Structure 1
Amino acid sequence: MKLVGISGALAGDKTSLAVNNVLVAAGRLDSSIKTELIDLREYDVEFSVGAPIALYNDDTMDVVKKILSADFLVFGTPIYQASISGALKNLLDLLPENAFKYKVTGIVATGWTNKHFLVPEYQLKPVLSYFKGLIPTGNVYIHNNAFNEDSDVIIDQEISERIEKLAEEMIYLQRGINNR
């Protein structure tokens, strides 16, 4: 199985680190799982204009192909103005309607205030469901205080445990889908 993580932040390291922590946890739980991190900072993903994907640049097509070829995915977003990032929303706008059919789609989010912990639940979860993704019961919201200020390493043990549980649930659910 291949697990692809998407970091929907164009600035900072926290979201990418959080997504990568899910990938690492999945690898610890099952060493046969291949993982890949798509950090949108490293790609020139074009703005979605509703055109066929073949008309977009190579980076855009590459990212879309990687997402569509994944067995399951974890999406990470910073929370800006009580919403998911525009970069992640734009990427999702490039995907076909059934992009996540028979795929587990986990969620991690980072933010400066605990007031935004429900943003992934109310904004990203419905979009992933629209694409036919199966969303695990627990997403992970990470307040920026959970990171070491100097190294951006997650220092909150409870958050690390929740990331581990998310990876475990994602693997369990994806195996169930694959064995149907």
Structure 2
Amino acid sequence: MKAVGLSGAIIGAKTAKSVEEVLTAINHYDESVVTELVDLRNYDVEFVRGVPFSEYNQDTQDVVNKLNEADVIVIGTPIYQASIPGVLKNVFDHLAPNCFKGKVAGIVTNGGSEKHFLMTEYQLKPILSYFKAILPLNNVFLHTSCFGPNNEITNEEEKERIENLAKELIELKKLY
């Protein structure tokens, strides 16, 4: 089984750290799962422009292919202006409508306003459902105050929620 975490931001480190924590928790729960972090800060994903997929650069193809090959996907995103960043939306625009069929997709978000947690319910879950992902009941929202030095997650309750999300992702994949 392969779990790919997508950090959907190109600035800051909190999102990547959040996704990395979920992937680590997956490995604590099941050491046999191969995990990989796809941090968009390290890729030059081209904007969708309506040309055949083979005409996009290698970074774009690599990101899409890694998501297509995963069994479990962890989508991580900061919340800007009560929405996802454009770079994450651009990745979604590259994907085929059924690309997550039979795959389990979890969500970890971070933001500066506690009201932003609703974005997961009203934006991200519908997008992942459109791609036919199997969605867990749990997701994780991390307020900026949950992070300490070096973007370490310091809130014990949130660490437990991350562990619960990881467990649910693997258990759901075993069912499907």
TM-score by length of 2: 0.98
SS at match of 2:151: coil
Q: Confirm or deny that 1:111 pairs with 2:111.
A: yes
Q: What amino acid is the match of 1:18? A: S
With 51-60 and 123-132 compared, the bigger mean Cα shift is at: 51-60
Q: CA deviation at 1:127?
A: 0.4
Matching residue of 2:172? 173
Structure 1's consecutive aligned runs of 4 or more residues displaced over 6 angstroms after TM superposition are none
TM-score by length of 1: 0.96
CA distance in 1, matches of 2:52, 2:127: 20
Q: How many residues are paired up?
A: 176
Matching residue of 2:78? 78
Q: CA deviation at 1:53?
A: 1.4
SS at match of 1:151: helix
Q: CA deviation at 1:99?
A: 0.5
Q: Confirm or deny that 1:96 pairs with 2:96.
A: yes
CA distance in 1, matches of 2:120, 2:54: 30
For structure 2, which runs of at least 5 residues remain unmatched after alignment?
Answer: none
Q: Confirm or deny that 1:60 pairs with 2:60.
A: yes
CA distance in 1, matches of 2:66, 2:154: 31
CA distance in 2, matches of 1:142, 1:50: 35
Instruction: Describe how 1:14-29 pairs up with structure 2 within 5 A.
Output: 14-29=14-29
Q: CA deviation at 1:157?
A: 0.3
Q: What amino acid is the match of 1:82? A: A
Q: CA deviation at 1:55?
A: 1.2
SS at match of 2:80: coil
CA distance in 2, matches of 1:104, 1:161: 20
SS at match of 1:37: strand
For structure 1, which runs of at least 5 residues remain unmatched after alignment?
Answer: none
| Cα deviation 1:82-130 (Å, max 9, x = unaligned) | 0011111100000001100000000000001101011011101000000
Give percent identity, aligned residues only: 54
Contact 1:75 1:106 in 2 (8 A): yes
